[in-house]
Amino acid sequence: MSVYSLKMRASRQNGLQAEHVSGAEKILAEEELPEQMQGLLERALHHAKGKADFVNMKIEAIDQSKLQYIDALPVSTHPVSSPAEGRDFILSVLEALGIHNGPAIMEHFKDTYGMRGAMLLDVDTLERLEPDHSRGIRATYMDAEHSLGRTAAAGKNHFQEAIVLASKVLHAPHIIAEICMSDDPDYITGYIATRKTGYVRITKMKEMGCPDGGRIFLYRGDRNDVAACMDYLEKQRVLVRHVPLTPAGDEVNITSPWAVYEKILQDKRQKHLYRETQEIATVQAPHIICRQKEQLLLASNNYLGLIDHDEVKAAAVAAVQKYGTGSGGARLTTGTLTIHNELERQLADFKGTEAAILFNTGYMANVGIISALGIKGSIIFSDERNHASIIDGCRLSHAKTVIYRHNDMHDLEEKLKLYAPCQGLIVTDAVFSMDGDIADLPQIMELAARYKVLTMVDEAHATGVIGETGRGIVEHFALKQKPDVLMGTLSKSLASEGGYACGSQLLIDYLRNTARSYIFSTSLCPAAIAAADKALSILRREPERVRKLRDNTAAFCESLQRNGIDASSESAIVPIILGDEKLAMMAAAELQQKGIFLSAIRYPTVAKGEARLRAAIMATHSKEELRDCARTIAEVITRTKLSLR
By CB under 6 A, residue 361 contacts ligand PMP: yes
**Exactly one of 159, 199, 363, 451 binds ligand PMP (CB under 6 A); which one?**
363
Least gap, CB of 541 to ligand PMP (angstroms): 23
Q: Which one is catalytic: 461, 482, 534, 548? A: 461
CB atoms within 10 A of CB 322: 12
Q: Are 523 and 327 in contact (CB under 8 A)?
A: yes
**Which residue in the list 433, 496, 523, 599 is annotated as catalytic?**
433
Minimum Å gap between C-beta 358 and ligand PMP is 11
Our CB check for ligand PMP shows the closer of 353 and 361 to be 361
Q: Across the strands, what pairs with 240?
A: 70, 144
| Given the residues 492, 534, 548, 621, the one annotated as active site | 492
Catalytic annotation present for 5: no
Nearest alpha carbon to residue 202 among 184, 186, 182: 182
Least separation in angstroms between residue 360's CB and ligand PMP is 8
C-beta separation of 215 from 119 below 8 A: yes
Q: Residue 600 belongs to what H/E stretch?
A: strand 599-601
Complex with ligand PMP: residue 152 or 394, whichever CB lies closer: 394
Q: Is residue 362 within the footprint of ligand PMP (CB under 6 A)? A: yes
Four-point Cα dihedral 103, 106, 111, 115, nearest 10: 160
CA 263 to chain centre: 23
| 455 to 494: interface string for ligand PMP, x by CB under 6 A | ---x-xx---------------------------x-x---
| Three-state DSSP class for residue 12 | strand
Distance, CA of 61 to CA of 150 (rounded, Å)? 18
Residue 492 Cβ, how far from ligand PMP at the closest point, in Å? 7
Tell me, yes or no, if 433 is annotated catalytic: yes
State yes or no: residue 433 binds ligand PMP (CB under 6 A).
yes
Q: Which is nearer to ligand PMP, 199 or 303 (CB)?
A: 303
Residue list 411-430, contact with ligand PMP (CB under 6 A)? 429
Inter-CA distances, 190 with 159, 193, 483, Å: 10, 10, 39
Residue length of the chain = 645
Query: What residue is closest to ligand PMP based on CB?
Result: 362
Give the residue with the Cβ less far from ligand PMP, 24 or 431.
431
Bond before 247 cis per omega within 30 degrees: no
Does 499 help bind ligand PMP (rule: CB under 6 A)? yes
Alpha carbon distance 605, 610 (integer Å):
10
Closest approach, Cβ 300 to ligand PMP, in A, equals: 11
Radius of gyration in angstroms for the set of CA atoms belonging to the chain, rounded to a whole number: 28
Residues binding ligand PMP: what is the number (CB under 6 A)?
14
Which of 204, 237, 309, 387 is close enough to bind ligand PMP by CB under 6 A?
A: 387
Count of other CB atoms within 10 angstroms of residue 589: 12
Q: How many angstroms separate the CA atoms of 327 and 528, rounded?
A: 10
- Distance in angstroms (rounded) separating the CA atoms of residues 631 and 559: 7
Distance in Å, CB of 293 to ligand PMP, minimum: 26
Binding mask 302-341 for ligand PMP (x = CB under 6 A): ----------------------------------------
**CB nearer to ligand PMP: pick between 94 and 466:** 466
Q: What is the tally of helices (H) and strands (E) in the chain?
A: 19, 25
**Minimum Å distance from CB 363 to ligand PMP?**
4
The residue among 47 and 331 lying less far from ligand PMP, judged by its C-beta, is 331
DSSP letter assigned to residue 523: P
DSSP symbol at 137: B
Binding site for ligand PMP (CB under 6 A): 361-363, 366, 387, 389, 429, 433, 458, 460-461, 489, 491, 499
Catalytic residue ranges: 433, 461, 492
